[in-house]
Amino acid sequence: MSWEMELDESLLEELYQWIDSLSLSRAKQRIERDFSDGLLVAEIIYYYLPELVDLQNYNSANSLEHKKSNWKMLNKKILSNIGLDIPDVIISGLSNCKPGLIEVLLFNLRLKIDEQLELKQKAIQQPIKSSIDRNKRKNISNLNYEEVKQEYLQQQEQIEILKAKIRRLEHVLQLKDTRIKELSTILQHH
């Protein structure tokens, strides 16, 4: 991330509208001063990713050391974990209300928040998709099982029918054998 980047007017306007749309503990008046203690950045992250921030760790600060302490904690616990590591020289600039720095940070923070929200969404959808896939496979397996079961039952039914036909044919054969014997004895007596 380049800290020397300059945001054009339309990006700045969009950024300020985004900040104004959030309910933060204090209204934006002079953005460098308002954000110099890191508290509002923690609030923004908490607004979108509450699981990452414990707001009790960050207090409104007036002294330079307290501001830097907030920023260092924010950097170590949160920002570096979402890919937005802030060098000490920038922390010093933010704490000293250096113009232009907070806008660059907020612009990049917004991008990182969007990435995190997207990852979060994918993480939520993945188990759902996996579950749907498993259910589909299970349904297909159940379908296959049901089809195989039906086929098996039909084959069993056909086997029973064939067995009945065999028994009937065997009975017919016995009747014919008996009739043949009867006719043979009649022929022998004549």
Could you state, in order of their start, the residue ranges of all structural domains in the chain?
Answer: 9-120
Is 104's pLDDT higher than 90?
yes
Cβ-based neighbours of 84, under 8 Å, separated by 6 or more: 1, 105, 108, 109, 112
* DSSP conformation class of 114: H
Alpha-carbon gap, residue 190 to 169, rounded angstroms: 31
Query: For the structural domain made of 9-120, what CATH number should be given?
Result: 1.10.418.10
Confidence band of 72 (pLDDT split at 50, 70, 90): very high
- Region 49-66: mean pLDDT is 93
Is 131's pLDDT higher than 80?
no
Taking phi over 0 as left and psi of -120 to 50 as alpha, with beta for the rest, 38 belongs to left
Whole-structure pTM over 0.85, yes or no? Answer: no
pLDDT at 31: 94
